[in-house]
Amino acid sequence: MNLTIDVGNTRVKIAVFERNNLVETMFFDKKKIISEIQKILKKYLISNGIISNVATISENKMEKLQKIVNLQVVSSKIKVPFINLYKTPLTLGVDRIALVSGAVKQFPNKNVLIIDAGTCITFDFVNAKSEYLGGAISPGIHLRYKALNYFTANLPLIDALEIENFVGKDTKESIISGVLNGVVKEIDGVITDYDNKYMDLTVLLTGGDTNFLSKQLKSSIFANQNLLLQGLNEILIFNGYK
């Protein structure tokens, strides 16, 4: 069985796979990574593991992890199931590498736009030849709320995923309308641009804000909350770890 580990900015997401079949997923605080993975190892017979580390894990914790599980680390050097045409491949985030790997498996021979709506909103495009061309990076919903609060003197910190009024009737409603409608319009606009340029475009949405955005976007999309974890498993399999 394979263990996939996604270390994000605030929490860790893991999944257990029996070849291509997802068995279980878990989410927990980054501080608990060692103890939680030890629990998983007692529950399942794990042969191989892989980690995508966006947020920095200390060398000490990484060494401990590699002692308890045969762990591959995602980097620009690892073999992937797509052709990377990014101009600066060494700077391509490991989370984006995993997302594209999952997308080419789920939608082979398709033009796919992958939208990951989390702390940042990332757009990644892979064509029908499995060539990764690049994409875009934009502030996510909660990052926009924090920026308005931090960089102004009087705007409050808001954390909402429900649009009460298109025309904000007070400061709170105005912030919510500006942030949420702005994000939705931005994503719809990006999808339209790609759709105009590439035929038969498939749009794949993932990330923490998937549930909210999938209900707001005009375009037809596929939502997959586990895309990154599945992509990590595909990288393992592609490298001969089954």
| Cβ–Cβ < 8 Å for 32, 21 | no
13 assigned binding-site residue: yes
94 assigned binding-site residue: yes
Catalytic residue, candidates 29, 95, 159, 193? 95
Q: Does the annotation count 95 as an active-site position?
A: yes
CA 145 from chain centre, in angstroms, equals: 20
Could you tell me the CA-to-CA distances from 27 to 91, 140, 153, 170, 211 in Å, in that order? 27, 20, 35, 36, 17
**Cα–Cα distance, 210 to 223 (Å, whole number):** 7
10 assigned binding-site residue: yes
96 assigned binding-site residue: yes
9 assigned binding-site residue: yes
Could you tell me the CA-to-CA distances from 166 to 21, 112, 172, 181 in Å, in that order? 42, 31, 12, 8
Could you tell me the CA-to-CA distances from 96 to 1, 23, 103 in Å, in that order? 24, 23, 10
116 assigned binding-site residue: yes
119 assigned binding-site residue: yes
19 assigned binding-site residue: no
Residue 145 burial by Cβ neighbours in a 10 Å radius (0-12, 13-18, 19+): buried
Active site residues: 95
Give the residue numbers of the binding site: 6-13, 86, 93-96, 116, 119, 171
- Residues making up the binding site for substrate: 86, 93-96, 171
Point out the annotated binding site for K(+).
116
